[in-house]
Structure 1
Amino acid sequence: MEARDSSRAVELAYDLVERVQARARFAGTGAVTPLGEAYVAGERGGLPLIAPARGAQVLSLAAERQLYVVGSSVRNGEAPYLAEPVRSTIDEALEIASALNHGPLAPAIAGGWAALESLLNEGRDPEERKVMAAIRAAALVTCSWPRAEFTALSYRIREDPGDDLPQRLAACGSNRERAVLVAAELEKRDALPIVRSWRTANDLAAVFRMHELLSDRRAVLNRVHWCMEVSFRRLYRCRNIVLHGGSTGGVALDATLRVTAPLVGAALDRLVHAHLVTGVAPLTLAARAETALRMIGDEVGRDLCDLIE
């Protein structure tokens, strides 16, 4: 097979191996075990036959030390060996979406949307609004975006003679405090002392985005929210192509999954954090996010770093 670079060639080979394995499972003679390496012209030796992760991360599980805590083995005072594990809707959604990072294309698309739909749809939604999960997920991701950007920038500040910003950041007791401090500094200055590295261009782009956000909060957040909603709606339509159309060859499927997998991960991360830390239900959190977006610029509206709790 031909590709423009070695990474894409490995992706194509991995996809082909997955299709062969899917067929072999129906033969009843055992699974096909690949060699584990792909050989590409111009490369020395074999390259690992693995697909790159799609960027769907739920970091709250590790941050709250709940990565391996699935349900509870005790219910209604029963002895642990008599009780069945209790599964929450969050546990089930994470299981459904587990194919997002490394799974085959069709399960990743179907599972990603099903996870959102299971948490962010309710029975009172009108029948013609089947994409309410996309609207609510877009609000969640949009509200979490400013604080995430400010927090990431706070860890890219370098020591600069005469500038006490690094010392003030070191004195902060939480990521929220760091984000608030960076946001306040960007409102007063045009640039930040960024660490020089291979990702400096990305950091400078983030500074530019945050300057634009601080100068016109409502307009920028509305634009970001629209982009997020369009992306989630694309995921919904691609899910229909896979499940209702029975096709995995659509030209938009790969691109849609590449764009939406990190967004689904971000939405699930906020929902998991709320479930573990404050016990807020998914639909309640989504309602808070939608309300916060409507109140941007209002004197009683939330700060950019506190749009979603």
Structure 2
Amino acid sequence: MKAYPQPLPVQPPARGADVLSLKRERTMYSVTGSDRLDDALELAAPLNEGPPAPAVSGAWAAIESLLYHPGDKADPDSERNRAVAADRLAALVACSWPRAELTALSYRHGPAEEDALLGKLEVAATNAERCQILAAALGGGDKLALSLPGDVAAGQRMTKVLANPFRELGDVRAVFEGVLRRLYRQRNIVMHGGTTAAVALDAALRTAAPLVGAGMDRLVHAKLTLGLEPLDLVARAENSLALVGDPLGPSLTHLLD
């Protein structure tokens, strides 16, 4: 009989569905009565570490409760009438992605000797300012001093996005839509098919959980800081994706502002 030096975990690792805005804004829950966003967070709670079936069903219930409107027009015989919520969440996450990448890269730039870019980043007062500085540097052809392969790849991605934001963000949105629609189909298999052993269930959760977490984080942040309702923020995201890259359109670092 084999002995293990350390206790074995009783559950799989977390799936990366983190809503960090709750911590940053020092808010645990709503105390003003019924709140749809608060209810959605409770529904989505199993997504991070819960069993697959409750995770997928709770996650989709949270998404649909916030991003589907009864007035949405669609073919009643098609799944598109509910999957529109997945497309809206994809637009929201696509808009939040460049700023998240640029923020992370701004802290990874580490030249052997301090350069002009590092000097500007060190005096920036907020992450928003760091993003603007880094975006201007990458757009101007500057090279970042990055050591990890993942960071190098992120820098290359951001360089491409800055060169053609409309096309690149459109492609990213399409990928996110596919991931979140797959989550919706797995939810239907669980809830309507009555099975918890679908072949693609674990894979769907692994890819969708971080996107759902990122989307919920943006919804929470907008509600706590700007008082924006979920569908209002999504409308802003869709408008930004349509206008990004235009001289009169939004900056890549302020798509949700």
TM-score after normalising by structure 2: 0.94
Give the whole-Å Cα distance in 2 for the aligned partners of 1:267 and 1:221: 16
Structure 2 residue 143 is matched with structure 1 residue 191:
yes
Amino acid at match of 1:103: G
Task: Report the Cα distance in structure 1 between the residues aligned to 2:60 and 2:119, rounded to whole angstroms.
Answer: 43
Alpha-carbon distance, 1:216 to partner? 1.6
Q: Which runs of 5+ in 1 are unaligned?
A: 1-38, 73-85
Q: Corresponding residue for 2:22?
A: 61
CA distance in 1, matches of 2:11, 2:228: 37
Judged with a 3 Å threshold, the aligned counterparts in structure 2 of structure 1 residues 169 and 44 are, in CA distance, closer, same or farther, namely same
2: CA distance, partners of 1:191 / 1:43: 47
Q: Encode CA deviations 1:180-223: one digit per residue, 9 max, x unaligned.
A: 111111112352012x4xxx111011001111111221111110
- Contact kept, 8 Å, 1:71 with 1:91, in 2: the verdict is no
- Structure 1 residue 141 corresponds to structure 2 residue 101: no
How far apart are residue 300 of structure 1 and its match? 1.4
CA distance in 2, matches of 1:162, 1:180: 19
Given the alignment, which residue of 105, 108, 113 partners 2:60? 113
Alignment equivalent of 1:259, drawn from 185, 203, 207? 207
Secondary structure, counterpart of 1:155 in structure 2: helix
Unaligned 5+ segments in structure 2 are 76-80
Aligned runs of 1:140-219 on 2, under 5 Å? Answer: 140-161=92-113, 163-194=115-146, 196=147, 200-219=148-167
1:125 aligns to what? 72
Q: Distance in 2 between matches of 1:113 and 1:87?
A: 20
Once residues 173 and 3 of structure 2 are traced to their aligned partners in structure 1, the CA distance between those partners, rounded to angstroms, is 44
- Is the 2:164–2:245 Cα contact (8 Å) retained in structure 1? no
| Aligned partners of 2:89 and 2:215 also within 8 Å | yes
Larger Rg: 1
Q: Which has the higher helix share?
A: 2
Equivalent of 2:195, from 233, 247, 266?
Answer: 247
**Cα drift, residue 172 of structure 1:** 0.8
Aligned length: 252
Q: Distance in 2 between matches of 1:42 and 1:146?
A: 47
> What residue is the counterpart of 2:78 in the other structure?
none
Alpha carbons 2:17, 2:212 under 8 Å: kept: yes
**Partner SS for 1:55:** coil
- Opposite residue 30 of structure 2, the aligned amino acid is V
Q: What is the root-mean-square deviation of aligned Cα atoms in Å?
A: 1.6
Distance of 1:42 and 1:212 partners within structure 2: 51
